[in-house]
Amino acid sequence: MNNKLYGKLIIELSHPGRKGYSLPHSEYEGYTPADLPANLLRGKAPELPECDEPTVVRHYTNHSANNFGVNNGFYPLGSCTMKYNPVINEEVAAMQQFAGLHPLQPAETCQGALRIYHELQSMLAAITGLSQFTLNPCAGAHGELTGLMVIRAYHQSRGDDRRTKVLIPDSAHGTNPASAAVCGLEVVEVKSQADGTVDVDDLKSKLDEGVACMMMTNPNTLGLFEHNIPEIQTLVHQCGGLMYYDGANLNPMLGVCRPGDMGFDVMHINLHKTFSTPHGGGGPGSGPVGVRAGLEPFLPTPRVVKDADGTFSVKTGRYEQSLGSIGQFFGNYAVVLRAYAYILTMGRENLGLVGPLATLNANYIKEQLRDDYLLPIDSPCMHEFVFDGLRDKSQGVTTMDVAKRLLDYGYHAPTIYFPLLFHESLMIEPTENESKETIDGFIEVMHSIAREAQTNPDEVKGAPHSTPIGRVDDVLAAKNPVLTWKHTQA
Ligand SMILES: *Cc1c(COP(=O)(O)O)cnc(C)c1O
């Protein structure tokens, strides 16, 4: 793109007096600033960009073309599950009948919307083997906080105020300890053993009557099934604690097993990962929380319930033991709609294939690439797995270099430098919906990069070469991002 308008800010393309819109006559025409209270008037007109329509359209179209998304190519981002997002989901979410709803409108005017909300709660309960779900939390981390608040409310309801410790494996996603801390609970780390799963002996040494719960991610962030769950859940329950399941990435479990059957009491699901919704950079998300029978009274309000006459209503009133409201209204309804459309489109039968296919795809890539990339934990994985960089690091090519070079070949990078258990983590998740051709294409490119790392290491270290912006200083970009245009007074 050699156009000299390209790369500029919209404000830099502005020419005073130029217009790109034509508005209908306003019913407020004729009102003058004099009709408004003086204290609400600004002293000077706002400095907004003034551009013609083609300039605006091209500006934003060109920007959007710089972004790599799931609709551009393969997106093997481990632990974040960016999968196929069926277009029908977007159509459903954009339907005016849903998009135009007001959260405060009377229940009798939005029975259909409430029914979907209620049915999704029931579907998630059936999928996970738990009793009841709330769809109110707006992200995975928000779900974790809600779930921990449920657990705390449960202990307090029994007059047990001593339980303030949350046991969290060292392989956990960073949001787990963060949510526990935000909830005012104390984080106690549990070690992993050499095979990447929870070290049960270390766990035993940390069990006492101060334990509120154990948070487990399964498959864990190394993509491994925590095979000691039966023993772990028995130990934790025996000491009076509850079991929390981080189900952000539930893909590999779909159709295979259910957290409720494994002995978990509380869990969250990331609808925006497992049940599709394009997301990134902070949203949009939805982190429903499910509980086993007996813990329902502690769930947040408002609640959507089905009344005896078959109609749906919103209960905001006082539930004695509820932890109260954890956000605005009902959470992120557009994400709820997408998950609902996704589940119905898939159907029971196909939903049961998600887990096995996600697992097959990940293992296939792992086995094809293990001669070139270092596999620190050599066991069958679930939906994702971790390499510890290139097997041959003699030319100094790092995981960062490999990730950047992938962009030149038209692939999004995997998750890198997470989990923290290894120095050169490269975490790959293909998801269940990719074709064999797509996956083979990725494998071929990963082989090419490994070869280049030997024969032409500088090419890899200098990548990307084909993107509008090359390497950024990512520390500076994270610590000192420039995200807004600052008006400088002439
Ligand atoms: C993504 C993720 C979370 C956090 O979810 P957000 O929606 O980003 O808050 C928590 N745990 C695991 C294992 C995850 O992959």
pLDDT in tens, 366-414: 999 999 999 999 999 999 999 999 999 999 999 999 999 999 999 999 9
Percent of the chain residues topping a pLDDT of 90 = 77
Rounded to the nearest angstrom, the distance between the alpha carbon of 278 and the centre of ligand 1 is 14
Burial of 328 (0-12, 13-18, 19+ CB in 10 A): exposed
CA 303 to chain CA centroid, nearest Å: 24
Compute the average pLDDT of residues 453-470.
94
Q: How confident is the model at residue 71 (pLDDT cuts 50, 70, 90)?
A: confident
Residue 319 is predicted with a pLDDT of: 79
Residue 280 is predicted with a pLDDT of: 77
**pTM to 2 decimal places:** 0.88
- Which of 290, 289, 349, 384 minimizes the C-alpha distance to 83? 384
Is the predicted pLDDT of residue 454 greater than 60, yes or no?
yes
Compute the average pLDDT of residues 287-310.
96
173 lines ligand 1 (CB under 6 A): yes
pLDDT in tens, 143-154: 999 999 999 999
DSSP for residue 244:
E
Rounded to the nearest angstrom, the distance between the alpha carbon of 31 and the centre of ligand 1 is 50
Compute the average pLDDT of residues 105-115.
96
Compute the average pLDDT of residues 271-290.
89
Q: Which domains, ranges and CATH numbers included, belong to the chain?
A: 1-65 (no CATH), 87-344 (3.40.640.10), 354-478 (3.90.1150.10)
- Mean pLDDT of the residues in the chain: 93
Whole-angstrom distance, CA of residue 420 vs CA of residue 455: 29
139 lines ligand 1 (CB under 6 A): yes
Token code pair at residue 60: 């934003």
Residue 1 is predicted with a pLDDT of: 47
Is the predicted pLDDT of residue 474 greater than 90, yes or no?
no
Cβ count within 10 A of residue 46: 6
- Which of 248, 216, 249 minimizes the C-alpha distance to 381? 249
Sign of CA dihedral 404, 83, 357, 121: positive
Q: Is the peptide bond before 380 cis (omega within 30 degrees of 0)?
A: no
Residue 424 is predicted with a pLDDT of: 98
Whole-angstrom distance, CA of residue 205 vs CA of residue 98: 52
The region, left, alpha or beta by phi > 0 then psi within -120 to 50, assigned to residue 158 is alpha
Compute the average pLDDT of residues 318-343.
92
Q: Best mutation site among 144, 171, 175 for ligand 1, i.e. most ligand atoms within 8 A of its Cβ?
A: 175
Is the predicted pLDDT of residue 281 greater than 80, yes or no?
no
Give long-range contacts, CB 8 A cutoff, 24+ apart: 324-328.
324/300, 325/136, 325/300, 325/301, 326/136, 326/137, 326/142, 326/145, 326/146, 326/149, 326/300, 327/136, 327/137, 327/138, 327/142, 328/103
Q: How confident is the model at residue 207 (pLDDT cuts 50, 70, 90)?
A: very high
CA atoms within 13 A on the CB side of 98: 21
473 vs 364, higher pLDDT: 364
Rounded to the nearest angstrom, the distance between the alpha carbon of 141 and the centre of ligand 1 is 6
- Which of 237, 239, 192 minimizes the C-alpha distance to 217? 192
Residue 66 is predicted with a pLDDT of: 82
Residue 28 is predicted with a pLDDT of: 79
197 lines ligand 1 (CB under 6 A): no
Nearest ligand 1 atom to the CA of 270 is: 7
Residue 4 is predicted with a pLDDT of: 64
Is the predicted pLDDT of residue 130 greater than 50, yes or no?
yes
Whole-angstrom distance, CA of residue 470 vs CA of residue 24: 45
Residue 38 is predicted with a pLDDT of: 84
Compute the average pLDDT of residues 272-291.
89
351 vs 83, higher pLDDT: 351
Amino acid (one-letter) located at 353: L
Phi, psi of 387 (to 5 degrees): -95, 155
Is the predicted pLDDT of residue 489 greater than 60, yes or no?
no
Rounded to the nearest angstrom, the distance between the alpha carbon of 175 and the centre of ligand 1 is 7
Compute the average pLDDT of residues 182-206.
96
DSSP-derived 3-state class of residue 304: strand
DSSP for residue 77:
B
Nearest CA to ligand 1 atom 15: 79
Is the predicted pLDDT of residue 32 greater than 80, yes or no?
no
* 239 within 8 A of 337, measured Cβ to Cβ: no
Amino acid (one-letter) located at 129: G
- Show Cβ contacts of residue 48 under 8 Å, excluding neighbours closer than 6 positions: 14
- Helix then strand count (H, E) for the chain reads 14, 12
DSSP for residue 168:
E
Is the predicted pLDDT of residue 234 greater than 80, yes or no?
yes
Compute the average pLDDT of residues 241-264.
94
Is the predicted pLDDT of residue 3 greater than 70, yes or no?
no
Burial of 408 (0-12, 13-18, 19+ CB in 10 A): middle
Nearest CA to ligand 1 atom 7: 140
Residue 7 is predicted with a pLDDT of: 74
Rounded to the nearest angstrom, the distance between the alpha carbon of 40 and the centre of ligand 1 is 43
Whole-angstrom distance, CA of residue 62 vs CA of residue 66: 7
Q: Best mutation site among 270, 286, 326, 384 for ligand 1, i.e. most ligand atoms within 8 A of its Cβ?
A: 270
- Which of 388, 412, 384 minimizes the C-alpha distance to 399? 388
Residue 279 is predicted with a pLDDT of: 84
Residue 5 is predicted with a pLDDT of: 64
Is the predicted pLDDT of residue 158 greater than 90, yes or no?
yes
Least confident of 101-110, 240-249, 311-320: 311-320
Q: How confident is the model at residue 420 (pLDDT cuts 50, 70, 90)?
A: confident
